[in-house]
Structure 1
Amino acid sequence: MDDPGPGLRTVHQLRALTVELDLLAASFAQRHGLHPTDLRALIALLDAARAEVPATPGLLGRELGINSAGTTAVLDRLERLGHVRRARDPHDRRRVLLEVTERAVALGQGFFGPLIGEAVALVDGLSAVERAAVEGFLSTMREIVARHADGPHRPAG
């Protein structure tokens, strides 16, 4: 069989990695009584906190690509499980802010922490040039995927 070439080999490695990460996330979700959308919601809320962006139900709905009723259902489940808190914005009492609880953070760190630690060590061991190449590749791949996610093959929803 002919060698597929470095580009196709890399794409196959990337696909295999995404499958493994999806399986790991599904295992975490199942162990903790979460729907895959619940896990995506927690990640989106943690990302907003890291970026110091106020997390609101509207922001979460946009991040997940779901309507307000679906967002409310996700938040109700996460709140019932003790993973999310809703609080009134102290500057605008009409607005609800969302926060991931310490319990949920600890749960995620307990499961994903060792993986993240090894990944950080791997990246920290790269030269500045290698890190820049990896970060550039991943950033560009995200742009490519986002462009295709908006294409005609995207399921209606």
Structure 2
Amino acid sequence: MARGARPSGPPEGSKKARSRSLGEGISGRLRLIALLTRRIEQRVGELLGINLTDLVALDHLIAQGPKTPSDLASLLEVTTAASTHIVDRLERAGHVSREPDATDRRKVLVVPVAASVDRVRQVVEPVLERLDAIIDGLSEADVAVIERFLGQIIDFYVAELQRPLGTPTPSKPSSNPPRRRGKGPSHG
């Protein structure tokens, strides 16, 4: 390429160039949000003296109420043995207790300790309030666009999690229907 020559590709300012530029910026920001979210979760876990897996378990218990170790294993997508270790660690750290189920005395429920729930809320609620303030500052039109976009990202991630590992990601369907080959309509 000659010195000072522009690289080949869409002309600067074209719709395709803007689209590619915006896509890279959005993708990069989504990755950064995921990274920063993990870092905040790690800090909360450090404050509570637990690891990230245990924090996720505690979050499920706080959000959904007491669970059996087996139910917790399903939510965390781990074995029941791993769930038992998680509950053991949370109990040693003082974040949960094991209590008999009032409706079935054979079952044991993992119950979050009130002091831990309060501590988590003291840390997390101010963050959520600041995020809500940012959202409140958006116009209704902006909120609609962002919600639609995030919904599409969520749908994509859910589909990716359902796809077997190692299989190629399906390409985006074309907006134009495929043309039939052959001489006339097919009646099969």
The Cα offsets for residues 28-56 of structure 1, whole Å up to 9 and x where unpaired, read as: 2223321111011112222323xxxx622
Structure 2 vs 1, CA of residues 7 and 29 (structure 1 numbering), >3 Å: closer, same or farther?
same
Whether 2:40 is the aligned partner of 1:14: answer no
Matched, 1:40 2:56: yes
2:142 and 2:165 map into 1 onto residues whose CA distance is: 35
Query: Which deviates the most, 11-20 or 141-150?
Result: 141-150
- Tell me the CA shift for residue 58 of structure 1: 1.9
Give the CA deviation at 1:128: 4.0
TM-score normalised to structure 1 length:
0.80
Deviates more, 1:92-101 or 1:71-80: 92-101
Whichever of the two has the greater Rg, that structure is: 2
For residues 93 and 129 of structure 1, do their structure 2 counterparts lie closer, same or farther at Cα, with a shift above 3 Å needed?
farther
Are residue 28 (structure 1) and residue 28 (structure 2) matched?
no
Aligned to 1:111: 123
Whole-Å Cα distance in 1 between the matches of residues 139 and 67 of structure 2? 35
2:168 pairs with 1:152: no
Which whole-Å CA distance do the structure 1 matches of 2:37 and 2:99 have between them?
Answer: 32
Equivalent of residue 71 in structure 2, options 59, 69, 75: 59
State the aligned residue count.
149
Counterparts of 1:55-94 in structure 2 under 5 Å? Answer: 55-94=67-106
Query: Counting helix residues as a fraction of each chain, which structure ranks higher?
Result: 1
The aligned residue for residue 100 of structure 1 is: 112
Unmatched 5+ stretches in structure 1 = none
Distance 1:117 1:80, change over 3 A: same
**Aligned-pair distance for 1:87?**
1.9
Aligned to 1:94, the other structure's residue is in SS state: coil
1:152–1:129 CA distance, 2 compared to 1 (3 A): same
Q: Give the RMSD, CA atoms, in angstroms.
A: 2.3
User: Normalising by structure 2, what TM-score?
Assistant: 0.68
5+ residue gaps in structure 2? 1-6, 8-16, 167-188
One-letter amino acid of the counterpart of residue 137, structure 2: G
Report the CA distance shift for 1:143/1:58 in structure 2 as closer, same or farther (over 3 A): farther
Q: Which amino acid is 1:102 matched to? A: A
Q: Identity over the aligned pairs, expressed in percent?
A: 29
Check 1:12–1:106 CA distance in 2 against 1; reply closer, same or farther (3 A cut): same
Give the structure with the larger strand fraction. Answer: 1
